[in-house]
Structure 1
Amino acid sequence: MADLPLEHVHVAPDDDPENAPGVFVLHGRGADEEDLLPVAQRLPDRLHVVSLRAPDPLQGGYTWYELDLSAGGLEASQPDAAGFRRSLDLVADSVDAAVDEYGLDADRIGLLGFSQGAITSLSLLLEDPDRYAWVAALHGYLADAHGDLEPDGIEGKPVFVGAGAGDRVIPESRSAAAADRFAEVGAAVTRGSYPGGHGIGQRELSDVVAFVESQVAGAE
């Protein structure tokens, strides 16, 4: 494994790894870099997969940031400002390092995140839309700290937003609000609503795989 700012798992493409596209995978709160590998294994095999571990230990797993619950319960939580900023910078630095170390095509990099990883991914896209070719954000929301950003380069950017109709951790309404905001600033938003709770079911997984396949095929 290359030396990145964040611990990670790297899975190289089956063929021609040099200048191949890549996806950076960001897990949810309390999980680790192996949690979403079953999802990543369904993605096109010509992708570099770099699954990152969040920096802070939590209950046998890891977290990207602590929760700010000042607005109410878990369903109204926000990232704590300091921890969120640190993780955003660590992910961005890890992306840059992985491009150099593993030979990824810097113009064909996607982000796939679940829960806290989705929240982090959406914010990274708004901070630097030219850095990422697409984002798949599952069961997340748009952090208030980034809600008013309207960056150049976001227009037409493919964004998949998946939500669970029965999700009691991050209500579907919060994911829908994120999708609405990205549509307002001109991103090409694909939405998915699924009957389950805070997890990735088979129909959602199939839709995510189809979305990523279309991005990879369209860039070739």
Structure 2
Amino acid sequence: MTNDIHAAFYPGKTSLAPVLMLHGTGGDESDLLPIATFLFPEHPKLGIRGRIIQDGSNRYFIRRKDGSFDLNNLNQETDWLLDAVQQEAVRYQLDARQLIVLGFSNGANIAAYAWLNRTTPFKTAVLLHPMMITPSEHPADLTGYRVFTTFGDLDPIVSETNFDQLTQQLMAAHVATKIFKNHQSHHLTQTELMAAQAWINKLPR
């Protein structure tokens, strides 16, 4: 059992797919609630806080001072997060297979990494400003998965080359990938959220 889980659940219509909220660096389990409410107003929502604390900020995995990632920690925390998702889904009687991931930055990174390197219950995601941490060693077959993902050309954290490498890996794994690039930095804008909303509204119910 994973006991060190900080989670928040916000009930919604049980007939709608639950949303899993994965925050950016410095966020918490409730951080994305306003965004989730805008995109998925009536859906149940579950947020899980990353358990790594670096420089006082919550994260899902360790990033070293030089900007590189601790891959051992990443793998450990990916397993922890997937276990936590299953536990909280049981706790709140959610169907983990129906989960839609809403991830921003650090949260989007671990969601994409989990897709490409683990067996995951969730097959739909909105990944806002993700980056590829490391290329997947084993090509995944994610046929039937779908993602809406965003990039800002002024982003000081995620390069366009890195973002393109990630989306190419997702498409090579047969993920139906909708890419939205905008003239913005590493933050959320109304423009990208409206585009995400339009994509969500076209999803099969």
Residue matched to 2:84 = 94
Q: CA deviation at 1:60?
A: 4.0
Question: Is the contact between residue 27 and residue 113 of structure 1 (CA under 8 Å) also seen in structure 2?
Answer: yes
Q: Secondary structure at the match of 1:112?
A: strand
Question: Is the contact between residue 125 and residue 131 of structure 1 (CA under 8 Å) also seen in structure 2?
Answer: no
- Indicate yes or no: 2:1 matched with 1:12: no
Q: CA deviation at 1:180?
A: 1.3
Residue type of the alignment partner of 2:32: L
When residues 181 and 164 of structure 1 are mapped into structure 2, their CA distance, relative to the original with a 3 A threshold, is same
Residue matched to 1:34 = 30
When residues 4 and 196 of structure 1 are mapped into structure 2, their CA distance, relative to the original with a 3 A threshold, is farther
Residue matched to 2:140 = 151
Correspondent of 1:57 among 40, 49, 53: 53
Q: CA deviation at 1:31?
A: 2.1
Residue matched to 2:168 = 180
* RMSD after superposition: 2.2
Question: Is the contact between residue 28 and residue 117 of structure 1 (CA under 8 Å) also seen in structure 2?
Answer: yes
When residues 10 and 213 of structure 1 are mapped into structure 2, their CA distance, relative to the original with a 3 A threshold, is farther
Q: CA deviation at 1:89?
A: 1.4
Residues 121-132 of structure 1 mapped to structure 2, 5 A cutoff = 121-128=111-118, 131-132=121-122
CA distance in 1, matches of 2:197, 2:55: 30
Residue matched to 2:154 = 166
Correspondent of 1:113 among 103, 106, 121: 103
Kindly provide the CA deviation profile for residues 153-203 of structure 1, in whole angstroms up to 9, marking residues without a partner as x.
x02410122111100111232112111111122111100101110101111
Q: CA deviation at 1:127?
A: 3.3
CA distance in 1, matches of 2:147, 2:3: 26
> TM (normalized to structure 1)?
0.83
Residues 64-75 of structure 1 mapped to structure 2, 5 A cutoff = 64-68=60-64, 74=67
When residues 204 and 22 of structure 1 are mapped into structure 2, their CA distance, relative to the original with a 3 A threshold, is same
Percentage identity across paired residues of the two chains? 23
When residues 110 and 184 of structure 1 are mapped into structure 2, their CA distance, relative to the original with a 3 A threshold, is same
Question: Is the contact between residue 20 and residue 47 of structure 1 (CA under 8 Å) also seen in structure 2?
Answer: yes
> TM (normalized to structure 2)?
0.88
Q: Name structure 1 gaps, 5 residues minimum.
A: none
**Residue correspondences, number:** 204
When residues 4 and 162 of structure 1 are mapped into structure 2, their CA distance, relative to the original with a 3 A threshold, is farther
Residue type of the alignment partner of 2:139: E
Question: Is the contact between residue 39 and residue 193 of structure 2 (CA under 8 Å) also seen in structure 1?
Answer: no
Q: Name structure 2 gaps, 5 residues minimum.
A: none
- Indicate yes or no: 2:197 matched with 1:198: no
Residue type of the alignment partner of 2:72: A
Question: Is the contact between residue 155 and residue 184 of structure 2 (CA under 8 Å) also seen in structure 1?
Answer: yes
Q: Secondary structure at the match of 1:179?
A: helix
CA distance in 2, matches of 1:198, 1:52: 22
Kindly provide the CA deviation profile for residues 54-112 of structure 1, in whole angstroms up to 9, marking residues without a partner as x.
1022344311222146xxx54xx3x3123212221121112111221111123311212
